[in-house]
């Protein structure tokens, strides 16, 4: 397999020592149950693929981008009752980010993107604090599943292990996906309180109480072709952002 120079884990000092990277991407996933048919590493596998493919497209158009190894543990405080759903508290995530950004600051790499692949992660408040600590590094975050209108690609995307995630995994890691006949229907119990149900009040969901199969969203209409089509468009959009960020002057970002 040829070395991908934009993937830090695969490249080498011979290449890195002379490269002037502008953008560093940290994919951040999770390790948790995904219905009966998808692997625990679904969020990490997806985020790893999307970061690498987006970076490839940007690299081939001249962007000086490098992707760090994908973080496999996310915030899973709502799934403490699901065996081996591994939780990393937000305070731990903050400490990890601080250490990584300190390295970028020391090495004068000016732009950092956290690519989120798990709904339980939310890095925005951390960035508010970290940006003050490291003013010479522009820090941003994005969730790849929010880049496009999912309804244009899937009949019923789902929230967790539904049609969208299943279709993606069928395309990028089909050997890890069990037949759909073993999958649950991803039925979800909603809050009884109307304000929580409608979304203008938020509270953490207790996963063991809202889902019997750990899924939220029906994967029945999933297909590898749907996953391929969606990923092509999503990585096109993300790579465009990387290219724009690579060219940007972080001291002159506003029109």
Whether residue 168 lies inside any domain: the answer is yes
Is 88 in contact with 31 (CB distance < 8 Å)?
Answer: no
Strand partners, 114: 26, 141
Whether residue 255 lies inside any domain: the answer is no
Q: Tens digit of pLDDT for each residue in 29-51?
A: 999 999 999 999 999 999 999 99
Q: What is the DSSP string of 138-153?
A: EEEEEEGGGSS-GGGT
Q: Tens digit of pLDDT for each residue in 183-201?
A: 999 999 999 999 999 999 9
Whether residue 213 lies inside any domain: the answer is yes
Position 15 scores a pLDDT of 95
Whether residue 70 lies inside any domain: the answer is yes
Position 217 scores a pLDDT of 97
Position 190 scores a pLDDT of 96
User: Alpha helix (H) ranges present in 110-223?
Assistant: 124-133, 163-172, 194-198, 207-210
Compute the distance between CA of residue 33 and CA of residue 84 in angstroms, rounded to an integer. 8
Q: How many domains would you assign to the chain?
A: 1
Given a cut of 50, the residues of the chain with pLDDT beneath it are none
Is 215 in contact with 161 (CB distance < 8 Å)?
Answer: yes
CATH code of the domain containing 124: 3.40.50.10310
Position 163 scores a pLDDT of 98
Whether residue 18 lies inside any domain: the answer is yes
Position 1 scores a pLDDT of 79
Whether residue 85 lies inside any domain: the answer is yes
User: Whole domain around residue 156: which residue ranges?
Assistant: 13-247
Whether residue 253 lies inside any domain: the answer is no
Whether residue 99 lies inside any domain: the answer is yes
Position 92 scores a pLDDT of 98
């Amino acid at each position: 397999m040829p070395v991908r120079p934009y993937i830090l884990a695969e490249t080498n000092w011979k290449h890195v020592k002379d490269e002037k990277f502008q953008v560093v991407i940290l994919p951040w996933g999770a390790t948790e149950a995904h219905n009966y048919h998808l692997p625990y590493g679904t969020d990490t596998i997806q985020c790893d693929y999307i970061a690498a493919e987006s970076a490839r497209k940007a690299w081939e158009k001249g962007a000086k981008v490098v992707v760090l190894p994908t973080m496999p543990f996310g915030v899973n405080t709502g799934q403490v009752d699901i065996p081996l759903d591994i939780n990393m508290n937000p305070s731990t995530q903050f400490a990890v980010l601080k250490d990584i950004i300190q390295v970028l600051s020391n090495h004068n790499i000016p732009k950092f993107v956290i690519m989120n692949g798990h709904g339980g992660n939310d890095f925005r408040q951390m960035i508010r604090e970290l940006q003050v600590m490291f003013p010479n590094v522009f820090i941003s975050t994005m969730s790849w599943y929010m880049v496009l209108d999912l309804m244009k690609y899937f009949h019923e995307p789902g929230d967790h292990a539904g049609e969208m995630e299943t279709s993606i995994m069928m395309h990028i890691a089909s050997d890890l996906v069990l037949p759909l006949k073993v999958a649950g229907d991803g039925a979800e119990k909603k809050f009884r309180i109307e304000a929580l149900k409608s979304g203008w009040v938020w509270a953490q969901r207790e996963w063991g109480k809202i889902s019997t199969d750990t899924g939220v969203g029906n994967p029945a209409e999933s297909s590898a072709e749907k996953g391929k089509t969606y990923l092509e468009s999503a990585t096109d959009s993300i790579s465009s952002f990387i290219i724009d960020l690579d060219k940007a002057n972080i001291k002159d970002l506003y029109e």
